[in-house]
Every structure is written in structure tokens, then in C-alpha cells.
Amino acid sequence: MPTKAYLLLLSFILCLFIKITISTKIWTPISFARNYFLMSVLSLVSWNIDGLGDDLAPRMDAVYNVLKNIEPNVIFLQEVVRSVIGSLERLRESYEIFYSDRSCRYFTAILVKKPFNFLKHNVHAFENSKMARTLQTIEGELGSMKVFLLTTHLESLGENKKERKAQLDYCLQKMKEIAENNPDAVVFFGGDLNIREKEMPELPAGVKDAFLEAGSPKDERFTWDTQKNHNKFAGQAQIRFDRILWTGPLQIVSFKLEGRERLQTVDCFPSDHWAINCTFSAP
């Protein structure tokens, strides 16, 4: 049988371990497993939710339900308007939510699943934009992984390709700078780039396109598809406007489109864009 002195010593050691763990944030087995998972697997959804379209209330309820069902670690949203903030704020119980410029007619949002160690938030307004477009950047930590999250909604319409290409060049340069200064971090950039294939520049070294790296799945290519999605109009246009680019230690990606279930009550889809749903993992 253990002696009384032995039990007292064991109790003292246990109390000391608990105190050190709390004060120094040493990982317990449970927190270690949680942090390892966050470090090795990360899911991201990007979606232009068409806040300027008709049937806004039922469509935003559908957007909320899609996002709630997927529950990704990170969400990029474009074409957010003030009237839908209430719907998005329902996700605040599980997410930190950051907006670009809510004084604009429409803007972007970044949602990051808790727990998230927020470090910096920046909104860069493109000087050449006629449409108040911006690049929104979040710096922080998910578990033990340093992350940079960049989303944008680049200049729309074919006649604005000069402005759009210059904006994309700026975003890629910013992505490159962040990666070079933070070699162990993962950097995600994406959103509604409004980009046509012939406008797409060569990507910086180490930067990858999630769709291409996932094997270019045929049925997941077009995020704006007027042959299947008639929210705006029925036509022949099929374009990969929306993209996710990334660099960092998470090398494996799966890719699929979401939001493709028609709402029976209003006979339309949640948005005129499909949502991108990616899961990134370590080798």
C-alpha cells in the first residue's frame, strides 16, 4: 500500500502539472488531437451569394442552411448586402465574422470557425475600381497553424477586363509576399474573380488552383452556369468565375460545388453562382 507521504507527493506533483499546463498552455492529449486536426485538415467554402438579386429572404435562408450543414473552417462570401447581415449573424455562435466595407452597396465577408486566434484585419480598396471593389485580408491562427485568408470580388463585366486583370495581379503579388514572409503558414486567396480563362495570368511559384489540383472534375468546373442556373437568365454561358488559390503545407485538396438544389417555394437556386467547397489536408 502507498504510504501517506507518497500520496501527498503524488498529489503535489499532479497539482503542479495542472498549474503549469494552465499557465503555459501545454497541450493535453485532447487539445493536442484537436490542434493536430486543425493543423492537418482545413475546409473552406467560397460563395457569391447574390445579395442584389430577387427573392432575397428565402434565398438567404437557403444560404444559411447550406453553410450550417457544411460547417467549414473558413467561409468567403461576396456580394453581401446590409439587409442580409442579420441572416449571416446567426452563424456568429460558431464563427468569427469580418466584413470589408459595410458602407458600400455590397461587400465581402470572411467567417472563421471558432476557436480562432485573430491577429490582423485589413481591407485594401482597389484604386482603379469603378465598383468599390476591395481585397479583404485576415491573419490569425487555427490551432497551431498560421493562416492568411484573402477574399475579393473583382471588377465585373467584359469591358472592365483591364481593371480586373490589374486587381488580380495585385492580389497574387500580395499572396506571394505573404507566403515569402511566412514560409510555414498556409495562405488562401479566392472569391468571385470574374476572370475569363484567357485573362488568367501564370500563378506565382508554389501557388496552386484548387480545382486543377483536385483533378479538374468535369461536373464541378463552372461556378456560373446559365445552362443549369436560371436565376439571372437562361443562356449558354458556362464560366469558372469563382476560384480558390492557395499555398502552404496543406498539399492535398478535394473540390466540389454546393448550392445546386432548387428552392421549390420560389423556383430558383440560393444564388446565381454555385458555392465552392474545398477540403485541404497534409500529405
Nearest to 52 by CA among 106, 98, 133, 100: 106
DSSP at 260: -
Flag whether 183 is in a domain. Answer: yes
How many whole angstroms separate alpha carbon 216 and alpha carbon 194? 19
Give me Rg for the CA atoms of the chain. Answer: 22
Give the rounded percent of residues in the chain with a pLDDT score beyond 70. Answer: 86
In the three-class reduction of DSSP (H, G, I as helix; E, B as strand; rest coil), residue 121 is classed as strand
Residue 129's pLDDT is 98
**Contact call for residues 66 and 275 (beta carbons, < 8 A):** yes
pLDDT at 9: 45
The answer to the question of residue 106 being in a domain is yes
Identify whether 25 is part of a domain: no
Work out the percent of the chain whose per-residue pLDDT is above 90. Answer: 83
Q: Is residue 15 part of a domain?
A: no
**Neighbour count for residue 156 (Cβ, 10 Å):** 16
Beta bridge partners of 275: 258
Q: Is the peptide bond before 270 cis (omega within 30 degrees of 0)?
A: no
Dihedral angle at the C-alpha atoms of 221, 165, 130, 136, nearest 10 degrees?
Answer: 70
Decide if 128 is inside a domain: yes
Whether 66 is covered by a domain: the verdict is yes
At residue 20, the pLDDT reads 39
Mean pLDDT throughout 167-183?
A: 97
Residue 27 belongs to some domain of the structure: no
Residue 107: inside a domain: yes
User: Do residues 39 and 143 lie in contact, with contact meaning Cβ atoms separated by under 8 Å?
Assistant: yes
CA distances from 117 to 33, 113, 248 (A): 18, 10, 19
Q: Which residues contact 235 (CB under 8 A, 6 or more apart)?
A: 226, 227
- Domain range for 255: 38-281
- Enter the pTM of the model: 0.87
pLDDT of residue 26: 41
107-113: average pLDDT? 98
pLDDT digits (tens, 9 = 90+) for 33-61: 444 445 589 999 999 999 999 999 999 99
**How confident is residue 3, by pLDDT bands cut at 50, 70 and 90?**
low
**CATH code assigned at 150:** 3.60.10.10
> pLDDT at residue 118 above 60?
yes
Q: Is 229 helix (H, G, I), strand (E, B) or coil?
A: coil
User: Which residues, including other chains, have CB under 8 Å from residue 50's CB and lie 6 or more apart?
Assistant: 59, 79, 231, 271, 272, 273
Better-predicted residue by pLDDT, 1 or 151: 151
Q: Is 2 exposed, middle or buried (0-12, 13-18, 19+ CB in 10 A)?
A: exposed
**Cα(132)–Cα(172) distance, rounded to whole angstroms?**
19
The number of folded domains in the chain is 1
Say how many residues make up the chain. 283
pLDDT digits (tens, 9 = 90+) for 188-215: 999 999 999 999 999 999 999 999 999 9
Residue 216 parent element (H or E): none
Enzyme catalytic residues: 192
Question: What's the pLDDT band for 273 if we cut at 50, 70, 90?
Answer: very high
Model pLDDT for residues 81-102, shown as the tens digit of each residue: 999 999 999 999 999 999 999 9
Reduced to 3 states (helix: H, G, I; strand: E, B; else coil), residue 199 is helix
What was the pLDDT predicted at 35? Answer: 46
Give residue 39's pLDDT: 59
For range 2-15, the mean pLDDT: 47
Question: With bands split at pLDDT 50, 70 and 90, how would you rate the model's confidence at 219?
Answer: very high
d(CA 136, CA 125): 9
User: What is the spatial distance between Cα 270 and Cα 161, in angstroms, rounded to a whole number?
Assistant: 27
Q: What is the pLDDT of residue 144?
A: 86
